[in-house]
Amino acid sequence: MGRFIYGAAADSVDIDDRTLAHLRIVVMNKLRRGEPFMFDTKLGDGIGRRSFWLHPAVPLQFHFSGGRAPRLNRVWLDELMKAASGPNGLTVMPEPPDPTSGGGEES
């Protein structure tokens, strides 16, 4: 289980490493372009949600608990990127199958 840390360390949420790796790519690309956006996520305990207004001026960290980077699902990245650019902002959605890998989730 990884951790998304935004601004102060108290502003963080636990996210599994695989999902966090995909979010890192989306967030990095949006902020590199100077495009702030909303990121909405469920809290780790399953009760409630947390929304972050992501802006290039605020420091953020992606803390991974595992030592190995997962293979990325291009289809999922595209869907997450479209969501981040949409009116409701980025919300984590279930991982779709990746036709290039013969399945969905991979390590």
- Residue ranges of the domains in the chain? 2-91
Give the global pTM: 0.86
Give the pLDDT band of residue 102 (cuts 50, 70, 90). low
Residue range 47-59, pLDDT digits in tens: 788 899 999 999 9
The continuous run of DSSP H or E covering 18 comes out as: helix 17-32
pLDDT, mean of residues 91-96: 92
**CA-derived radius of gyration, the chain:** 13
Instruction: Please choose, from the candidates 57, 67, 54, the residue with its C-alpha nearest in 3D space to the C-alpha of residue 24.
Output: 54
